[in-house]
Amino acid sequence: MTNSQVAAASTALLTDRYELTMLQAALADGTARRRAIFEVFTRRLPPGRRYGVLAGTGRVLEAIEAFRFDEDQLAWLAAEQVVDTATLDYLAGYRFTGDVTGYAEGEVFFPGSPVLHVEGSFAEAVLLETVVLSALNYDSAVASAASRMTSAAGGRPCLEMGARRANEQAAVAAARAAVIGGFAGTSDLEAGRRYGLTTIGTAAHAFTLLHDEEEAAFASQVRSQGTGTTLLVDTYDVHRGVERALAAAGTGLGAVRLDSGDLGSLAHEVRAQLDAAGATGTRITVTSDLDEYAIAALAAAPVDSYGVGTSLVTGSGAPTCGMVYKLVAREGRDGSMQPVAKVSAAKASVGGLKGAARGLGATGRAVEEVVVTGSDAAVRAWQQQVGRTPPERLRPLQVPLVQHGEVDRAWTGAPGV
User: How many domains does the structure of the chain reveal?
Assistant: 2
Q: How far apart are CA 159 and CA 27, in angstroms?
A: 49
Give SS3 for 9.
Answer: helix
Which of the four pLDDT bands, split at 50, 70 and 90, describes residue 1? very low
Q: For 309-346, how does the pLDDT look when each residue is reduced to its tens digit (9 = 90+)?
A: 999 999 999 999 999 999 999 999 999 999 999 898 88
Indicate whether 197 and 114 sit together in one domain: no
pLDDT in tens, 239-259: 999 999 999 999 999 999 999
Any domain includes 324: yes
Kindly report the average pLDDT of the chain as a whole number: 95
What is the mean predicted confidence (pLDDT) over 92-96? 98
- Residue 200 in any domain: the answer is yes
DSSP run (H or E) holding 65: helix 57-65
Instruction: Provide the whole-model pTM.
Output: 0.94
Inter-residue contact 267 to 281 (CB < 8 Å): no
Mean pLDDT score, 350-361: 93
Mark which of 317, 332, 364 sits at the end of a domain: 317
Question: Which residue would you say has higher pLDDT here, 117 or 365?
Answer: 117
Taking only Cα atoms into account, the Rg of the chain, rounded to an integer number of angstroms, comes to: 25
Amino acid at 86: A
Do residues 202 and 101 share a domain? no
- What is the Cα–Cα distance from 328 to 111, expressed in whole angstroms? 16
Determine the pLDDT at residue 364: 84
Q: Say whether both 189 and 312 belong to one domain.
A: yes
Sign of CA dihedral 42, 47, 50, 53: negative
On whether both 302 and 340 belong to a single domain, the answer is no
Return d(Cα 375, Cα 365) in angstroms, integer.
30
Name the pLDDT band for 392 (thresholds 50, 70, 90).
low
Contact status, residue 402 vs residue 102, Cβ threshold 8 Å? no
User: Could you give the CA distance from residue 392 to residue 58 in angstroms, rounded to a whole number?
Assistant: 28
Nearest to 276 by CA among 285, 264, 268: 268
Indicate if 16 and 55 belong to the same structural domain. Answer: yes
CATH of residue 334's domain is 3.20.140.10
Instruction: Name the nearest CA neighbour of 229 among 251, 259, 202.
Output: 202
CB 15 within 8 A of CB 129: yes
- What is the structure's pLDDT at 161? 97
Is 52 part of a structural domain of the chain?
Answer: yes
Question: Which range of residues forms the domain containing residue 232?
Answer: 148-317
Q: Are residues 12 and 99 in the same domain?
A: yes
Q: What is the DSSP letter of 146?
A: H
Pairing of strands 99-103, 35-42: unpaired
Question: Do 175 and 103 reside in the same domain of the chain?
Answer: no
Q: Are residues 106 and 205 in the same domain?
A: no
Assess whether 269 and 310 both reside in one domain: yes
Nearest to 399 by CA among 112, 125, 117: 117
Same domain, 153 and 289: yes
Among 188, 105, 165, smallest CA distance to 140 is for 105
Q: Are residues 68 and 155 in the same domain?
A: no
Same domain (yes/no): 87, 182 = no
